[in-house]
């Protein structure tokens, strides 16, 4: 009985991590806020948020050069058309959120080079130790 009680909290905490969802839903158009028009020198940038329980009740704001481009929910994906070159891609807490979802509690940014022909995909994940994070998708 003691071994069950010792292992149970570990199982519960490991269940809080997000998981990659290969069938993410598109973000509804009312939450796509910027970089939606393809331009002559633009590249497509795809951002997918993992599915999972942790933070599942709030949106995460995707930012490009510190401007909010979309509000993305758990298990959703969005595409953006960004001019080629160096940009800061990041996430912040939802403007209406609180706790883990608030702007004060969440800010992650990456300086990236967005070029035609590159794999310009990013993944938002979360776990109970590090919270939310955004990372480039590594081709398999």
Q: What is the pLDDT along the chain (140 residues), one digit of tens a residue?
A: 555 544 444 434 444 455 556 678 999 999 999 999 999 999 999 999 998 755 556 889 999 999 999 999 999 999 999 999 999 999 998 765 444 454 446 789 999 999 998 999 999 998 777 788 999 998 76
- In sequence order, which residues have a C-beta less than 8 Å from that of residue 53 and are 6 or more positions away? 15, 16
Q: 71 has which bridge partners?
A: 61
Q: What is the reported pTM?
A: 0.79
Residues 38, 36, 24, 132: is their CA dihedral positive or negative? positive
Q: 48 has which bridge partners?
A: 77, 123
Q: How many CB atoms lie within 10 A of CB 130?
A: 10
100: containing domain: 2-136
The number of distinct structural domains making up the chain is 1
* Secondary structure (3-state) at 103: helix
């Amino acid at each position: 009985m003691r071994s069950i009680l010792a292992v149970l909290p570990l199982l519960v905490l490991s269940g809080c991590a997000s998981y990659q969802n290969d069938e993410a839903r598109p973000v509804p158009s009312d939450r796509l806020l910027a970089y939606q028009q393809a331009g002559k020198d633009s590249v497509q940038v795809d951002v997918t948020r993992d599915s999972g329980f942790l933070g599942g009740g709030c949106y995460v704001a995707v930012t490009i050069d510190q401007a909010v481009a979309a509000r993305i929910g758990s298990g959703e994906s969005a595409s953006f058309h960004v001019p080629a070159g160096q940009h800061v891609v990041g996430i912040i807490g939802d403007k209406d959120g609180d706790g883990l979802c608030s702007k004060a509690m969440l800010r992650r940014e990456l300086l990236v080079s967005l070029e035609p022909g590159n794999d310009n995909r990013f993944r938002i994940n979360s776990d109970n130790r590090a919270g939310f994070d955004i990372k480039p998708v590594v081709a398999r």
